[in-house]
A and B are shown apart, each in its own frame.
Chain A
Amino acid sequence: MAFLHGLSKSHTDSGSGLKRRSLTPYILLAPGLIWLITFFIIPIFSLASTSTMVRPEGSQIGTYVQELRFANYIDAFLVSKEQYLRSFVYAGLATILALAIAYPLAYAIAFKSGKYRNILLVLVIAPFFTSFLLRTVAWTQILADSGPVVSAIKVIPFIDETFRINNTPAAVVIGLAYNFLPFMTLPLYASLERIDPRTLEASGDLYANGLTTFRKVTLPLSMPGLVAGTLLTFIPAAGDYVNAAILGNPNTKMIGNVIESRFFAVVDYPTAAALSFTLMATILILVTLYIRKSGTDELV
């Protein structure tokens, strides 16, 4: 948005510096544009073209010819609608869980941490120092049948002896929420930290209690962070396949697992491409609706 302002402004400008100044935005944009064209636009076309290909009967594995078969999309969707739906349900649950953990955390860091603020912020991003895969594998140890979490829960009466967390839907959702927690926390913190404490004091002066202040002042002012955080969590979570593969079971597979399986195991590139495309489109639609609904499009 800001750069468009810049563009229109430079066009109305007159004078000797016009030429150079009007080029500046393009020069600034060039690295990003080249990157996007090479690694996003071109692959998107390649993906679209692959998605309508067909493997001729009897041909070698991995051989596909273009037949513009759009029914690939319907076929691909029909065989994986269950995993499709599951992806969005799990991603949604993980986003809610991450929000429930991250909001108080970000609030505490922004308003209550004092001199520990920087240490706490480093701690939030500390998990990134280790590989994503290793951290997820570590969760299988934590949630193991004879591990600390399950043993602690089994102390509660009426918990069945066969109770377990590993390889259940809960484990997948927990894993997703954990892995994307920093993406939720940091935007929330950035929004909360910008809130002028005087607005909170003013709210108190107007006889609002703590809860009302939160509802009427803090929450609305942190909306940009909340929207950004939920998007940054939901989008990668919906396409994730690592958590479902490591922490799940055969009945908790997500759409990412199906795409991976079709691409690598079955070598069915068209189905994998069609599913990737559908996933991208669905996420785009959901995100657009969400941003419209939350009314913060000018803030994101």
Chain B
Amino acid sequence: MKKDKKSLSPEARAIIRAQLTRRSLFAGVGAASAAGLLAACGTGSSTGLEAVVDVSDTEKIVRWANWPLYLDFDEDTKIYPTLAAFEQKSGIKATYEEAIDDNNTFYGKVQGQLSIGSDIGYDIVTPTDWMAARFIEQGYAQKLDPKNVPNKSNIREVLANVGYDKGREYSLTWQSGFAGFGWNTQKLPKGVRTMEDLFVPANKGKVVVLSELRDTIGVIMLYQGVDPSSNFTEDQFMNAIDFFKGKISDGFIRQVKGNSYSEDLKRGDANAVIGWSGDIFILRAESDGKFDFAIPESGGTLWSDNMLIPSTSTHKKNAESLMNYYYEPAVAAEVAAYVNYICPVEAAQPELEKIDPELGNSPYIFPDAATLEKVKVFRSLSADESTKFQTAFDEAIGN
């Protein structure tokens, strides 16, 4: 990414980044008012879904919805090299859209169609763990045929058995990342490794945290000694919310947002953030080490975005061959070299070393056991918990 955008001025890049951020808060200009969408969307349940017919053999296409800046892209030729190679190899025409800007917004957009079984226009979607869990639980995901995805076995061991999808029957990890502390090394030369470091008096009004509940509250819970992957209680969760609220009301936390927090860091509006590993490494590479990232001493969170085939897709087999393709080590390495997040294919490491030795040895792309020891995956929440906790979180951030 660093190379690609060099031709633009810093301001233009800032604006583009701000708009294209992976999880920005804002659904986009075109997104109609909540009221309009509200009216357009049904509130039905997923019952009564009819099985779709797979027309993969006659319609050689696959349509993929992913987050922005999440697939290797060649700025000069305007193509996605690995995707173009897939088209060549398989004869399947792939449409790639950076259509997911926020898990909740994306769900809000497609839920109505999914619930009545009408095509959402994508054969692969890439939601984060908890949203993938919701898709699977509500019957909005199709079961993968292991015969069509033999490379599935290449998946990193920690990712092979996740709570919401034992044995990866429905989903495959696209990329993973850590949530932890990011900081400006000029403003905070000593770095930020503990919650106390984050909330030093000099950072008053200069801390920005993620609007992703599971990351921000997960990091706070770990600081309070509660494991967010365990069966924690509502009280334990609300304790973390209280701590969070306190830091907002005493003015330490300036803003709670999606990944446009990297703009706040660049502008100097934030000295330190609770942010995502990949973002901060890209910032670091762009700015000659002005920013750094660390997993908190008390622990950070590990999240993944997962490819799955929506229940309405009629190109399941094509989607499966695409998934299979991206689990080839050489292909996975090419993607990792671009996106800088944790590569789900462990065997891609030697391949990435060939492309870039430094990246190939990064513990943030191929984490070692010691690194993985420090991070937790926020557990799945029941529908009741999710509603209650998300309401508490949104009220804490002023909504």
Residues of A within 8 A of B (CB): 39, 42-44, 46-47, 50, 53, 55, 57-64, 79, 83, 131-134, 137-138, 140-141, 144-147, 162, 164, 166-167, 239, 242, 245-246, 248-253, 256-269, 272-273, 276, 280
Contacts and interface: CB of A to CB of B under 8 A. Distances in A.
Contact of A260 (B34, B248, B390, B395): B34
A244 B7 CA distance: 32
A59 B383 contact: yes
B239 interface: no
10 contacts: A50-B39, A62-B115, A145-B267, A146-B267, A239-B33, A250-B397, A252-B398, A253-B398, A259-B33, A264-B105
B384 to A, nearest CB: 6
> Taking each of A39, A164, A251, A263, which has the highest tally of chain B beta carbons within 10 Å of its own beta carbon?
A263
Contacts of B105: 264
Given A133-B28, A141-B11, A253-B398, 10 more contacts: A53-B43, A62-B45, A64-B43, A167-B255, A246-B26, A258-B399, A259-B34, A260-B27, A262-B394, A265-B399
Contacts of A39: 36
B138 interface: yes
Interface in B14-30: 14-15, 18-19, 25-29
Interface in B250-292: 253-257, 260, 263, 267-269
B375 to A, nearest CB: 24
Interface residues of B, number: 60
A144 B15 CA distance: 14
> Taking each of B35, B269, B393, which has the highest tally of chain A beta carbons within 10 Å of its own beta carbon?
B35
A88 to B, nearest CB: 17
B268 to A, nearest CB: 5
- Grouping DSSP codes into helix (H, G, I), strand (E, B) and loop, the A interface class, with mixed when no group exceeds half, is helix
A272 B34 contact: yes
B39 A167 contact: no
A249 B11 CA distance: 23
Interface string B31-52: 0011111111101111000000
B77 interface: no
Given A133-B19, A257-B399, A249 B255 contact: yes
B134 A61 contact: yes
B91 interface: no
Contacts of A145: 267-269
Contact of B390 (A133, A259, A265, A273): A265
B108 interface: yes
Given A60-B383, A249-B255, A261 B399 contact: yes
B137 interface: yes
A276 B268 contact: no
Contact of B398 (A250, A272, A276): A250
A214 B26 CA distance: 44
Nearest to A46: B39
Contacts of A273: 35, 38
A137 B18 contact: yes
A63 to B, nearest CB: 5
A158 B33 CA distance: 43
B96 interface: no
Contact of A167 (B25, B27, B41, B254): B254
A257 B138 contact: no
Given A167-B255, A272-B34, A63 B43 contact: yes
A267 B267 contact: no
Contacts of A252: 398
B387 interface: yes
Given A242-B26, A261-B399, A269-B43, A141 B14 contact: yes
B104 interface: yes
A59 B39 CA distance: 21
A242 B394 CA distance: 16
Contact of B29 (A42, A132, A164): A132
> Taking each of B33, B248, B384, which has the highest tally of chain A beta carbons within 10 Å of its own beta carbon?
B33
Contacts of A79: 395
A264 B398 contact: no
Interface in B196-216: 204-205
A193 B149 CA distance: 70
B230 interface: no
Given A60-B46, A242-B26, A264-B105, A256 B34 contact: yes
Contacts of A272: 34-35, 38
B187 to A, nearest CB: 11
B21 to A, nearest CB: 10
Contacts of B396: 250
Nearest to A45: B39
Contacts of B115: 62
B306 interface: no
B35 A251 contact: no
A131 B31 CA distance: 12
Contacts of A262: 34, 394, 399
B216 to A, nearest CB: 12
> Taking each of B43, B45, B204, which has the highest tally of chain A beta carbons within 10 Å of its own beta carbon?
B43
B318 interface: no
Contacts of A166: 269
Contacts of A137: 15, 18-19, 260, 263
B90 interface: no
